[in-house]
A = this chain, B = another copy of it.
């Protein structure tokens, strides 16, 4: 199974990189860009910044206390991508391992002296994920031996401790290493790390223990809270543990936490996080667009979690959120040339920010940067795009499920399915049996926004078309080569309104088209986006070459002047604004034309 997640049980079994291949298209092009540009870009920057040199013993040590993890994330990406630079980089890592398996370039005699912030177990987590990727793409070698020895060291040191790490990730890594090797103590260690958290297992910190989810036991929480990446990584590990140990209560707890988080703490883009100060969730319905942190890594973690929950339960809504997050967070972060990245992904940018030329000290949302002082996002993009085909399709007894549509091939059993689509540019998806056949159930996900979709079965006599509703459209038949299914997803752009409890979005609407959130962007000298109000008419799409753009009716008002911006009594009658049409572009493509202001949520005309 060439796959980052291989549960031993659950509703669905993922199809891996050996079964799913992408052709050119929205995702195929990004996966190709990753292999050709992004992975090398990351390696170059980590060489330049000295983070790789740390493993060679270069002094002084450079980078933050967690910089080792960045090399490991890139190694994982290289493994999935079959990148030729892996062996040399892995060899540098191996050279820094101590006799007893300990491996960290930041800590030495003072190892494990600061579990709250030290990130040692966090680094092991990413090391282990890289090792699993290597095992599954290549098999055992010097590097996987390094990883096993590190994992054994973790078990020796922490099996009977009461402590854990300030940043979860080792939990899901250890479960996966158990799945890849069959060594049960890795699972037991992961289980203990999950159970131990919130007892509490860590000292208090200025942000409070909720920051690293140590405020209460995992199975007792009601919602995700604190640092978003930590929260969704921990929940992913908890799902993995629950699935492998048959702990239905734990699985149900994570499902309930996810439900409330998605219903109350998630941006329209699928992004999560409202607080810049601690990269954390806000309270329920606290979702300010201009302070939407929506860290790229949080989106990736949310996709990882939704994927695990989908595999465990088969419930379509996990795939729905994953798709939303893929198109509007994962696809948004890298620039179109693959050489700069968003760290934060706010839904409103008020002042155009020039792109930095070098390392960005700050995790601002208004600009893509080639590298960051805390540069978790580029490597996370690299490993996620490298393994992306493994997120698209699954199997169960007697069937194949396609959750996300991208041109390419899916192979399962004797069956080779060819998918052809330029989704999300259009909503037409063709699935054809290219080779093989036999009785099988093919399930196609109809996204939750896709009311009135059509599913056609092509036969020599014509197309037998029916309307299918959101959920899974199932075709069960005896397949033969040449058989073809045509899915039609309705792609008309649509207005979307927020829950009235979202204070920051009151009186606004946004445009979505298929899974893609749109935004108004105002680059260069164009008029800014203050004072715009949009009209009620349906948005109109038009093809703009590579992308579909949307136009909406709008009025550009003249903002009031005044020395004090609050007015007592009835508001003065607004001056009639200038009628205009506002052009919207896919949110994932914004900021590629230079410094710009941007807004997803548009004030609606009274």
Contacts and interface: CB of A to CB of B under 8 A. Distances in A.
A373 interface: yes
Given A277-B277, A373-B206, A507-B506, A566 B499 contact: yes
Contact of A291 (B288, B495, B563): B288
Contact of A208 (B361, B566, B571): B361
A568 B275 contact: no
Among A266, A284, A500, the most chain B Cβ lie within 10 Å of the Cβ of A500
Question: Copy number of this protein in the oligomer?
Answer: 2
Nearest to A287: B565
A413 interface: no
A563 B500 contact: no
A559 B501 CA distance: 7
A289 interface: yes
A531 interface: yes
Contact of A565 (B498, B507, B530): B498
A420 B579 CA distance: 56
Given A207-B362, A496-B568, A508-B506, A262 B563 contact: yes
A197 interface: no
Given A361-B206, A501-B530, A531-B500, A565 B285 contact: yes
Contacts of A283: 290, 350-351
Contacts of A568: 449, 494-497, 512
B565 A264 contact: yes
A141 interface: no
A562 B285 CA distance: 13
Interface in A479-504: 494-504
A271 interface: no
A510 B508 CA distance: 20
Interface in A261-318: 262-264, 266, 268, 275-277, 282-286, 288-291, 317
Say what secondary structure dominates the interface of chain A: loop
B497 A567 contact: yes
A463 interface: no
Contacts of A504: 288, 290, 503-504
A348 interface: yes
Interface string A194-231: 00000000001111100000000000000000000000
* Interface range on chain A (Cβ under 8 Å from partner): 35 or more
A559 B500 contact: yes
Given A205-B361, A276-B276, A290 B290 contact: no
A422 interface: no
Contacts of A502: 565
A560 interface: yes
Contacts of A426: none
A336 interface: no
Interface string A559-577: 1101111111101000000
A506 B264 CA distance: 20
Given A275-B276, A362-B206, A563-B262, A497 B285 contact: no
A603 interface: yes
Nearest to A284: B350
Contact of A499 (B264, B285, B288, B559): B559
Nearest to A574: B500
Given A275-B276, A284-B350, A512-B568, 9 more contacts: A263-B563, A266-B565, A282-B290, A495-B569, A497-B568, A500-B560, A501-B559, A503-B601, A510-B566
15 contacts: A204-B361, A206-B362, A268-B566, A276-B276, A283-B290, A288-B290, A288-B504, A495-B568, A496-B567, A496-B568, A498-B565, A499-B565, A500-B603, A506-B506, A510-B566
7 closest A-B pairs by beta carbon, nearest first, are A499-B565, A277-B277, A506-B507, A276-B277, A283-B350, A206-B361, A507-B507
